[in-house]
Amino acid sequence: MNIVLAQLNPIPADIEYNKNKIIEALDNQEYELMIFPKYFIYGYHNFDMIEKFSFIKEQIDNAFKEIQKHVKTNALISSFDGNYLINQEEIKKVEIFTLNFESFEIIENEHPKFATSNLIYLDLCASKTNSEYYRNEKLYKLATSQNKNLFYLNQTGAIDEFVYDGMSRIIDSKGTLLAQAKAFNEDYLKKGRIEKNEYNFPTNHDSFSLNYENDLKRTYCSIVLSIKDYFSKNGFTQAVLGLSGGLDSTICAVLLADALGSKNVLGVSMPSRLTSNESKFDGCELAKNLGINYIEAPIKEYHEAFSIGLDKVFNKASNYWCNRYTKSFTQDNIQARSRAMILWGIANEFGSTLPIATSDKSETYMGYATINGDMSGGFAPILDVTKTKLFALARWMNENRPIKNAIPESIILKPPGAELAIDPNTGKTLKAEDALMPYEFMDEVIWRIENLNQSIDNMMQIEFLYEKKNILDEKTKKLWLEKFFKRMNSAIYKWYISAPSPIVDSHSINKAIYKQPIVSNINY
């Protein structure tokens, strides 16, 4: 039988758009049975809208009737309430049998022309990009253990935080891959065509490693696709971001340029009195290399005006409260929020423009980011990527993008720092690792929390990768761990406030998949 797997990219709740995608596929492909991804007519995920807006169900019914006119033989389409087999004679709901891996589904024997002695399993479930290793393992194990051919159909595209990588496949009962679709693209899969899988998910989950090489292309493609779809499906075409000359904003600028086109990206240098000439030069050089738009908007006058005005407010408040800090982060935050005001102002002034939040995963875990400052934006491309992985990603992009070495080497070599305050010990601007701890250590803590669910006591018994290369006494290690967990626990409210961000890692603090009360005090 000529079975075609239609690996397509839906828009949630846009029944008309999804219907037309189906009709286009049915009109232009040769098939005896065409199968569409899970919930495709409605668009995965469906959240609560299907219950809130009952008229959507009527829209789906009408869409099915129109689709039926275009079905040459048979089509299997998944809706919010199950799977429907559609041909010229009928639109019939198909009973399913669910197995223990995201609803593998069977065409039942009531449709014998689609069932053979070697029964076909169908997985219509949308599968995210960070589950490739586990997905492969389960798919092959299922096919061989059940001694059945397996058709696995995934959608592609991105919806809010979730990114779907495609790579639909057909596996025979012996575990042999018979066909595989493209990654991160729409495709129509038939038996016999195998697209090479170059997007691996790390298979070693037993120890922390700084060798991210086998996961960088997948990470890059996931974020680029997420940016493309978030912008296009929400009606945005242009992005504006601050270019500080640091690693985070640099990575975001490259990803945005590749996703939206360089002319649709505006980088804004917003130097303060503490911003080094090197940082300003690096940001400008990056913009030239990428071909993105670039302007400079110093924040001195904003900073001074806010500081003078707020001092008056603070003095008035002191008449009632006597517990004013002797040292605060007010001046740091005024700088960060002044920059956010500029970016949001540009977004408000120019149509279809979205400001970008450039926070990364490592610093977000520790709350080292300013609400309504560098955390402020309509989308946060790298919020689920750790700092050590970002360094590796920068080098990978320099080697693998069409324009080589777009990221200046000085940015990659520069110790990260927000240039918001002076370190009293050195007289220079404070570096992030001085305020926090070494990123290599910090990122292993994150890895151990997310992958092994370890506590402080667990981690004290383990030799970290950082310890293999650096001298670290037990007292300092415990202080670092206690500092990390204390700051992480107090930063949870910031996670809830953060902008939408693509889920990149197999485990994540992303609010779409991890829930923890803000009012919580865990004894780590």
Q: What is the pLDDT of residues 199-209, one digit of tens each?
A: 665 555 678 99
Q: Please report the beta strands in 150-296, taking only residues with DSSP state E, as ranges in sequence order.
A: 150-152, 156-159, 162-165, 169-171, 177-180, 187-189, 238-242, 265-269, 293-296
Same domain, 219 and 185: no
- pLDDT of 507: 78
Residue with tokens 């007289």: 427
pLDDT, residue 23, reads 98
Whether residue 297 sits in one domain with residue 160:
no
Per-residue pLDDT tens for 174-189?
A: 989 999 999 999 999 9
- Residue 347's Cβ-count burial label (10 Å; 0-12, 13-18, 19+) is buried
Determine the length of the chain. Answer: 524
Q: Does residue 89 sit in the same domain as residue 161?
A: yes
Give 416 or 129, the one with higher predicted confidence.
Answer: 416
Range in 84-98, 380-394, 429-443 the model is least confident about: 84-98
In whole angstroms, what is the distance from residue 184 CA to residue 515 CA?
A: 28
Q: Report the share of the chain in percent with pLDDT over 90.
A: 67
Tell me, rounded to whole angstroms, the distance of Cα 184 from its chain centroid. Answer: 14
Residue 522 included in any domain = no
Q: What is the Cα–Cα distance from 90 to 322, expressed in whole angstroms?
A: 76
Q: What is the Cα–Cα distance from 12 to 39, expressed in whole angstroms?
A: 9
Is the confidence at residue 106, as pLDDT, over 60? no
Let me know: does 522 contact 489? Beta carbons within 8 Å.
Answer: yes
Q: Tell me: do 254 and 180 sit in the same domain.
A: no
What percent of the residues of the chain are helix, what percent strand, and what percent coil, each to the nearest 5?
40, 15, 45
User: Comparing 36-45, 215-224, 415-424, which segment has the lowest mean pLDDT?
Assistant: 415-424
What's at 179, amino acid-wise?
Answer: A
> Given a cut of 90, is residue 234 above it in pLDDT?
yes
Please check whether residues 17 and 153 belong to one and the same domain. Answer: yes
Coil vs helix vs strand at 234:
helix
Mean pLDDT of 134-153: 82
Shared-domain flag, residues 59 and 148? yes
- Whether 101 has a pLDDT exceeding 60, the answer reads no
State the pLDDT confidence band at 128, using cuts at 50, 70 and 90: low
pLDDT at 377 over 60: yes
Question: Which of 112-121, 397-406, 430-439 is predicted least confidently?
Answer: 112-121
Residue 267 lies in a domain: yes
Q: What is the mean pLDDT of residues 91-119?
A: 48
Q: Which of 21, 69, 75 is nearest to 43 (CA)?
A: 21
Give the C-alpha separation, 411 to 407, whole Å. Answer: 7
Output the CA–CA distances (angstroms, integers) from residue 162 to 89, 159, 233, 512, in the order listed.
37, 5, 14, 9
Question: Tokens standing for 365?
Answer: 């875990």
| Pair (51, 159) in one structural domain | yes
Query: Which residue is associated with the tokens 């990527």?
Result: 385
**421 within domain boundaries:** yes
Does a structural domain hold residue 515? Answer: no
For residue 141, the model assigns a pLDDT of: 85
Write the CATH number for 438: 3.40.50.620
Are residues 165 and 219 both part of a single domain? no
Asked whether residue 109 is domain-assigned, the answer is: yes
Same domain, 114 and 34: yes
> What is the structure's pLDDT at 198?
72
Paired strand residues for 84: 77, 93
**What's the angle, vertex CA 65, arms to CA 60 and CA 67, rounded to 5?**
90
506 vs 151, more confident: 151
Q: Is residue 519 part of a domain?
A: no
pLDDT of residue 464: 97
In a shared domain, residues 258 and 335:
yes
User: Residue holding tokens 């001074």?
Assistant: 304
Q: What is the residue type of 439?
A: Y
pLDDT per residue over 289-336, tens digit each?
Answer: 999 999 999 999 999 999 999 999 999 999 999 999 988 989 999 999
At residue 110, the pLDDT reads 37
Q: Angle at which helices 387-400 and 216-234 pack, to 10 degrees?
A: 90
Amino acid at 294: Y
Residue 138: what pLDDT?
80
Q: What is the mean pLDDT of residues 240-264?
A: 97
In the block, tokens 């690096």 appear at: 282
Average pLDDT over residues 434-460: 95
User: For the domain that residue 115 is a member of, what is the CATH number?
Assistant: 3.60.110.10
Report the number of distinct structural domains present in the chain. 2
Q: Looking at 323-400, which runs of residues are DSSP E strands?
A: 353-355
Predicted confidence at residue 146, as pLDDT, reads 80
436 found inside a domain: yes
Q: Tell whether 23 is covered by a domain.
A: yes
Here the tokens at position 433 are: 């690792």
Q: Does 413 share its domain with 454?
A: yes
The span from the CA of 199 to the CA of 183, in Å, is 8
180 & 282 share domain? no
Tell me, yes or no, if the pTM score tops 0.95.
no
Over the range 325-340, which residues count as b (16 or more CB within 10 Å of their CB) and which as e?
Answer: eeeeeeebbbbbbbbb
Could you tell me the strand order of the sheet in which 74-79 lies? 91-94, 82-86, 74-79, 33-35, 3-7, 187-189
Domain that holds residue 221: 213-497
